[in-house]
Structures are given as structure tokens and as C-alpha cells.
């Protein structure tokens, strides 16, 4: 099998989005060998001081995270009345934000598990921080149901723990399925992430120049020594985790959508919800990956690893999933009309032209219209356009959850029980606070953990193939030409 | 007080490590070591080299079988949990201080199998994943607090860009002389002696 001649690399650096199967563009640019890959990625962690922007961002996001904690404290000592939740909109921003954050997480698992099963090698440059993003997003998501229950000190009632009342949770309720789905999702994502981190933590351990680093990385790398017998089981375990995480990630947002779909409310009671929610989750998650990856590769000089090809591939997925989401919106309308059900028809006409029409059209323009620009290659390969579209998609997907939850609750069957939802300052600041928490965790991750999967990147380089560069089996063995 | 000098070489030599620079070179060397009949030996690489495990003659791991049973346990546990807490009023006080409860919701059957499927699925995945990681660590002997391969500063490049083939002194075929000569015949960059 012949690999691409190296002289071509220079030309392909200009346009490495070339995807001709006979001559794929390299996944790692800039004439790297294994040592320089280690060097360049570890430089992010080993630089004596991170860029100034890192400090500024950390101060801002840590302050916002602190504000979040104070607001949660304020909520607990005062009660949920500090939020805009009312009757009939019992599920206000907290559940909107819960669904939003859980959805963000899905792209990380898609990249790490589903693309792994499909042998999409380009995932190696983005999977590490996409997985980190998953975990931090699920942490933000998990906060909301906990504080939304009202009496926070009784949050343990969510779990099947024996208590003094001899009562158990009700397992026919999708809300309880959610408890299991989200906690399983968090645990499995964390395991997956940690297993992937071990060889790279060992790399940082072996390069550590201070005692604290050596102890910390040494502790978490568990004495990894790159043994091929270990790698053999490790790779099998990684494959199994990917195979387990793939149905899991599809199940999590399906279960989240069951919270809505199993109710009787017009606009919620539809069978399209599970696939529609999963497509939306992947869509929003990829947008968040883009929002984080574009500045990160710029600031830490990772352009040789997160190349234009990676970004373009992600843009293609955003285009695909965005179009699927748009198709789901259209199907919902069609079925509402086709069903002949009065309340269902009203719910959808009301979404588009009622009191929340502004939210609906923000959603449609951000989610359906804005990604369509990615039909053009020039847009797919323009940093600014993709960054702006990714922000739009984040906004649009938040509004999608807002539209689903609030419009259906605000105006359902009886006009006598209609209402309007207005968030309070606590709602808004709590949501901003979760971004602070998310970014704080993410910035700490970039500084202290290997931001790209070093071992995996080495394994997809042409040099990693035992048959590369005219190296044959046994007798044909020759010297390496660098 | 002086220690008695080592009687055999095995007391102070833990093994020899031969350094290679490319995946192809270590794969070729591994085939020869396997053919020579060594048993206590290993390759240490910065990333999983494709095909090296088969070249070394590593047998497929039993990990998937263990995980299968982990998953089955999860399914059983979830069925038991849901049927016990929602469908039957069994008093387990004799064994554990809990009593089951019969939830009657909207006249639905007490054992509503379809409603129990999502939690069964989630617990199956959870236990499978925990079993996968737990057994992988257990089979690999991780966490490992000390290992001679980690002691040598030169071998720290295993996690960077070097490929080391290590033959341990406890191998029945190992002798100080012959093993060294044999490793040299494989054309490594260098040979390192590892202390226990």
C-alpha cells in the first residue's frame, strides 16, 4: 500500500480539504515526526505561563461560576419563586437549560464513539476536547433538575434509595428514566475520557519537570508503560466503550424527549421527538465544538492538528444535522395539520404566529437557514463564517428548547389557564453562570490536561503504519528515510 | 554492613531493553523474538502499533466475555430493582431492611414491561462500561506502583517516540550473554540493561 509522497504535503497545506480517496490530505500537517507531535501538544501544558487571554478568560468565567453558586444558594434559601416559572409554565428556563446543556454534550460522544466505530480517523484531533466538553456540559445540565425540584435537600428522592417512608420512585415515569439516562451518560463519558487520557497522562508524567507534576500525572496515569500487551486490552476496552457509548448517546436524548413525548400536551405528544431531539443535540454539540475549537487552535497554535479539513468535516455535519432539524420542524407542522387534531393544529400555528413568534423565527433562522451557507465550500473553509454560524446555531438551539417547552405550556387546552412566561434576572444570571462554570472547567482542562489525544494522533500518522515508506515485511526491511 | 554480592545474574538484571525507532523495525524484531521461543517479553510503544500484537503472538483478550457477563448482571439488576420497588410488595426485612411497594398508576399492569425497558438499557450499559474499564485495569495490572521499565530514564521515551522490546530475566531462555547477543542481532539502536 503506498502512502502519499511527502513532497505533496506543502501543496496540500494550502488546501488540505481535498478528499480524494486516492490521495487523502494528511491529518497532521507540517512534517511532524512522533517527537515533534509530543512536543507541540505538550507545549500547551508545559509553557511556563499560559497566554494572557487565558488568565482574562479564567477570571471572567470563574467569577461567573461564583455568581452561579451564589444564585443557587439564593434560590435554595428563598425558593423557586425567584424564577419566572409560573402556572401554567412550570418548566421554565431551568428545564430549557437542562435540555440545552445535555444536547451540547452529545457531539463529544458522537465524535469519540460513533466516528470511532465508523473508523473516521479525522476524529483523533478533536475527540479529546469534545469529550471534555461533553463532561462539563453534562455537569451544567445535571445542576438544573437538582435545583428545579424545589426542595433541594430532598434531591435524593430522585434515586431508588430506601427511605423512612418506605416509598420508591415510580419507574413508569420518564422523569425517572432521565435520572438513570443522564447519570449513566455522565459516568460512561467520564470513563471513556479517562481511559483515553491515560497514555497521554503518562507522556506528561515522563516529561514532568517539577515534582508536583510528576506526582500528579504519575498518580492519574496509573503506572502506564505502553506495554503492547496492555495496548491490546486497552484497544479492545476502548472499542467496547465506543460500542456501548453509541447506543447510550442515542438513548439519552431520546429519554430526554420522552419527558415531553409521553405527556398529553399538544406540541409535545409526538412520536418524532426522539430522532428529532438526537439530531438537534448533535447539531448543537458540533456548533459548540466549533465555538471552542476555533479560538483554541488559534491561541495555542494547534492549526497543524485541527486542520481546515477537520473544520470542514464538522461544518458538513452541521449542515446535515441542521437540515435534519429543519425537516423535523416541517414534519411537525405537516402532522399537526394532517392529524386534524384541533389542539395540535392550534399549538403549531400558535408557535409560528402567536405570542412567541419572535422566539420561533429566531430558532428557524438560526437553525435552519444559517447552516445552509455551508453548501458553499468557501463558507465551509472560512474561519469567520463558520465561527459566526456556530454561534448562531448555539443561540438557535437554545431557542428551540425554549419554543418547545414554553409555547406548549403557556397555551394548551383551556384559554382560561393560558399564561405568558417572562424570565427574572435570577433565571438569566443563573444561565450565564452555567457558561461561567463550563468555561472555567474547560480552561482548566486546556491548561492541565493533554488537549489533544497525543497517542491517537501518532497512530494515524503515515509513519505509524508498520508498512509505510517502503518498509516491507521481514526480508524487504530497509532503513528509514526521514 | 555489607550485602552479599549477587549469586546469579538474575538478582540484579531484570531484563534487557532494545531500542527501535520505527513501528516497522519493532514489528520485525517482535516476530523474531516470538519465533525464538521467548515467553517473558514485551514491546513498549508510544501508541498501539497496528499488527504488533499479532506479530508478538498475543492471544485475544477475554475482556469482551467478562463485559458480556457484566452487562447481563446490569440487566438482571435493573429488572429486579424495578419489579421489586414498583410491582411486588415483598418484605425483605429478613435480609435487608427494605420493603417493596406496589405502584398502581392509571390502572396499568403492576409489571409494565415496556416502561421498564429504558432503565434496563441504561443500567446494562452502565455496568458493562464499569466492567470494561475495571477488567481492563485488572487484566493489565493497573494501577502499577512500580515497574523496572518505568525506572530507566532512557525508557521514558516510550511515551514519546521510541519503541522498546524488553526481554525479562525470568524467561527460561534468558541468559546474560545469549539474550544480549540475540537482541543485538535484531539491529536495535541501543540496548539497555534494566535493574529490578
CA distance B2 to chain A (A): 32
- What pLDDT, on a 0 to 100 scale, did the predictor assign at position B98? 78
Tell whether A212 is covered by a domain. yes
- Return the domain boundaries, chain B: 14-60+148-194, 63-140
Q: Dihedral, CA atoms, A33, A37, A39, A40, nearest 10 degrees?
A: 130
Q: Evaluate if residue A200 carries a pLDDT over 60.
A: yes
- What pLDDT, on a 0 to 100 scale, did the predictor assign at position A87? 86
Confidence band (pLDDT; 50, 70, 90) for A101?
A: very high
**B58 and chain A: CB distance < 8 Å anywhere?**
yes
Contact call for B142 and A203, based on CB within 8 A: no
**What is the total count of domains within chain A?**
1
pLDDT in tens, A340-392: 889 999 999 999 998 999 999 999 999 999 999 999 989 898 999 999 999 99
Residues in Cβ contact with A15 at an 8 Å cutoff, skipping those fewer than 6 apart: A25, A308
- What pLDDT, on a 0 to 100 scale, did the predictor assign at position B65? 94
**B39 and chain A: CB distance < 8 Å anywhere?**
no
A432 vs A120, more confident: A432
Mean pLDDT of A133-143: 93
Percent of chain B whose predicted confidence (pLDDT) is above 70? 94
3-state secondary structure of B27: helix
* H-run or E-run covering A98: helix A93-109
Task: Tell the burial category of B172 from Cβ atoms under 10 Å away from its Cβ (0-12, 13-18, 19+).
Answer: exposed
Number of Cβ pairs closer than 8 Å across A and B? Answer: 223
Nearest CA in chain A to B148: A225
pLDDT in tens, B137-174: 999 988 888 888 888 888 888 888 889 999 988 888 88
**What ipTM describes this predicted complex?**
0.90
- What pLDDT, on a 0 to 100 scale, did the predictor assign at position A44? 83
CA–chain centroid gap for A363, Å, is 19
Alpha-helix runs per DSSP H in A262-272: none
Tell whether A222 is covered by a domain. yes
Going by C-alpha positions, the residue among A382, A366, A364 that lies closest to residue A374 is: A382
Mean pLDDT of B30-34: 89
Cross-chain CB nearest to A35 (options B53, B122, B161): B161
Confidence band (pLDDT; 50, 70, 90) for A479?
A: very low
The mean pLDDT value of chain B amounts to 86
Number of H helices, E strands in chain A: 18, 2
Residue A39 and residue A425 in contact, taking contact as beta carbons nearer than 8 Å: no
Confidence band (pLDDT; 50, 70, 90) for A436?
A: very high
CA distance B26 to chain A (A): 9
pLDDT in tens, A446-459: 999 998 888 888 88
Sign of CA dihedral A232, A449, B21, B191: negative
CA distance A184 to chain B (A): 6
Residues of B with Cβ-Cβ distance to A459 under 8 angstroms: 47-48, 50
- What pLDDT, on a 0 to 100 scale, did the predictor assign at position A21? 55
**B95 and chain A: CB distance < 8 Å anywhere?**
no
Q: What CATH number does residue A368 fall under?
A: 1.20.1630.10
Contact call for A172 and B105, based on CB within 8 A: yes
Confidence band (pLDDT; 50, 70, 90) for A113?
A: confident
**B45 and chain A: CB distance < 8 Å anywhere?**
yes
**Lowest-confidence pick of A150-164, A173-187, A462-476, B30-44:** A462-476
Sign of CA dihedral A117, A121, A124, A127: negative
pLDDT in tens, B84-128: 888 888 777 777 777 888 888 888 888 888 899 999 999 999 999
**B179 and chain A: CB distance < 8 Å anywhere?**
no
What are A47's three cell numbers?
509553557
Contact call for B53 and A231, based on CB within 8 A: yes
Amino acid at each position: 500500500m503506498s502512502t502519499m509522497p511527502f513532497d505533496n504535503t506543502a501543496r496540500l497545506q494550502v488546501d488540505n480539504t481535498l478528499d480524494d480517496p486516492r490521495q487523502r490530505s494528511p491529518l497532521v500537517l507540517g512534517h511532524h515526526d512522533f517527537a515533534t507531535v509530543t512536543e507541540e501538544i505538550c507545549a500547551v501544558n508545559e509553557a511556563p505561563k499560559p497566554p494572557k487571554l487565558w488568565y482574562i478568560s479564567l477570571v471572567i468565567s470563574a467569577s461567573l461560576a461564583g455568581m452561579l453558586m451564589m444564585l443557587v444558594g439564593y434560590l435554595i434559601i428563598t425558593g423557586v419563586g425567584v424564577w419566572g416559572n409560573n402556572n401554567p409554565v412550570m418548566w421554565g428556563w431551568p428545564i430549557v437549560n437542562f435540555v440545552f446543556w445535555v444536547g451540547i454534550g452529545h457531539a463529544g460522544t458522537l465524535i469519540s464513539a460513533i466516528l470511532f466505530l465508523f473508523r473516521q480517523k479525522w476524529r483523533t484531533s478533536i475527540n479529546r476536547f469534545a469529550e471534555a466538553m461533553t463532561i462539563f456540559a453534562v455537569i451544567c445540565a445535571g445542576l438544573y433538575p437538582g435545583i428545579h425540584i424545589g426542595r433541594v435537600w430532598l434531591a435524593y428522592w430522585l434515586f431508588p434509595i430506601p427511605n423512612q417512608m418506605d416509598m420508591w420512585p415510580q419507574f413508569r415515569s420518564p422523569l425517572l428514566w432521565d435520572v438513570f439516562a443522564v447519570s449513566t451518560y455522565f459516568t460512561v463519558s467520564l470513563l471513556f475520557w479517562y481511559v483515553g487520557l491515560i497514555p497521554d497522562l503518562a507522556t506528561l508524567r515522563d516529561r514532568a519537570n517539577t515534582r508536583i507534576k510528576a506526582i500528579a500525572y504519575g498518580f492519574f496515569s496509573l503506572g502506564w508503560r505502553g506495554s503492547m500487551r496492555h495496548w491490546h486490552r486497552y484497544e479492545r476496552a476502548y472499542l467496547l466503550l465506543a460500542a456501548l457509548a453509541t447506543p447510550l448517546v442515542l438513548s439519552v436524548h431520546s429519554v430526554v424527549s420522552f419527558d415531553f413525548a409521553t405527556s398529553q400536551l399538544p406540541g409535545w405528544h409526538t412520536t418524532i421527538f426522539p430522532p428529532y431531539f438526537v439530531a438537534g443535540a448533535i447539531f448543537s454539540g458540533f456548533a459548540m465544538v466549533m465555538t471552542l475549537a476555533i479560538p483554541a487552535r488559534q491561541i495555542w497554535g494547534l492549526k497543524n492538528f485541527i486542520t481546515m479539513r477537520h473544520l470542514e468535516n464538522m461544518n458538513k455535519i452541521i449542515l446535515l444535522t441542521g437540515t435534519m432539524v429543519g425537516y423535523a420542524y416541517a414534519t411537525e407542522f405537516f402532522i399537526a395539520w394532517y392529524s386534524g387534531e384541533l389542539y395540535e393544529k392550534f399549538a403549531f400555528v400558535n408557535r409560528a404566529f402567536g405570542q412567541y413568534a419572535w422566539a420561533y423565527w429566531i430558532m428557524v433562522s438560526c437553525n435552519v437557514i444559517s447552516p445552509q451557507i455551508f453548501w458553499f465550500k468557501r463558507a465551509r473553509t472560512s474561519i469567520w463564517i463558520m465561527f459566526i454560524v456556530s454561534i448562531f446555531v448555539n443561540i438557535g438551539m437554545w431557542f428551540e428548547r425554549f419554543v418547545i417547552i414554553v409555547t406548549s405550556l403557556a397555551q394548551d387546552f383551556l384559554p382560561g389557564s393560558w399564561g405568558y412566561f417572562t424570565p427574572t434576572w435570577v433565571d438569566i444570571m443563573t444561565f450565564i453562570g452555567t457558561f461561567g462554570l463550563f468555561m472555567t472547567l474547560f480552561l482548566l482542562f486546556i491548561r492541565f490536561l493533554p488537549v489533544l489525544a497525543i497517542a491517537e494522533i501518532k497512530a494515524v500518522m503515515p509513519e505509524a503504519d508498520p508498512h509505510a515508506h517502503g518498509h516491507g515485511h521481514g526480508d524487504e526491511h530497509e532503513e528509514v528515510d526521514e | 554492613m555489607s550485602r552479599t554480592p549477587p549469586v546469579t545474574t538474575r538478582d540484579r538484571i531484570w531484563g534487557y531493553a532494545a531500542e527501535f525507532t520505527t513501528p516497522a523495525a519493532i514489528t520485525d524484531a517482535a516476530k523474531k523474538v516470538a519465533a525464538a521461543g521467548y515467553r517473558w517479553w514485551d514491546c513498549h510503544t508510544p501508541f498501539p502499533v497496528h499488527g504488533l500484537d499479532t506479530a508478538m503472538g498475543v492471544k485475544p483478550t477475554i475482556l469482551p466475555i467478562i463485559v458480556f457477563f457484566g452487562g447481563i448482571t446490569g440487566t438482571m439488576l435493573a429488572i429486579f430493582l424495578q419489579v421489586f420497588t414498583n410491582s411486588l410488595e415483598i418484605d425483605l426485612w429478613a435480609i435487608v431492611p427494605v420493603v417493596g411497594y406496589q405502584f398502581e398508576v392509571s390502572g396499568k399492569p403492576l409489571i409494565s414491561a415496556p416502561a421498564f425497558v429504558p432503565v434496563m438499557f441504561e443500567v446494562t450499559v452502565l455496568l458493562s462500561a464499569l466492567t470494561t474499564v475495571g477488567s481492563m485495569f485488572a487484566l493489565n495490572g493497573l494501577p502499577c506502583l512500580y515497574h523496572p521499565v518505568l525506572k530507566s530514564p532512557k525508557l521514558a521515551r516510550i511515551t514519546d517516540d521510541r519503541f522498546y522490546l524488553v526481554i525479562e530475566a525470568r524467561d527460561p531462555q534468558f541468559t546474560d550473554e545469549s539474550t544480549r547477543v540475540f537482541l543485538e542481532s535484531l539491529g536495535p539502536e541501543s540496548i539497555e540493561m534494566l535493574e529490578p
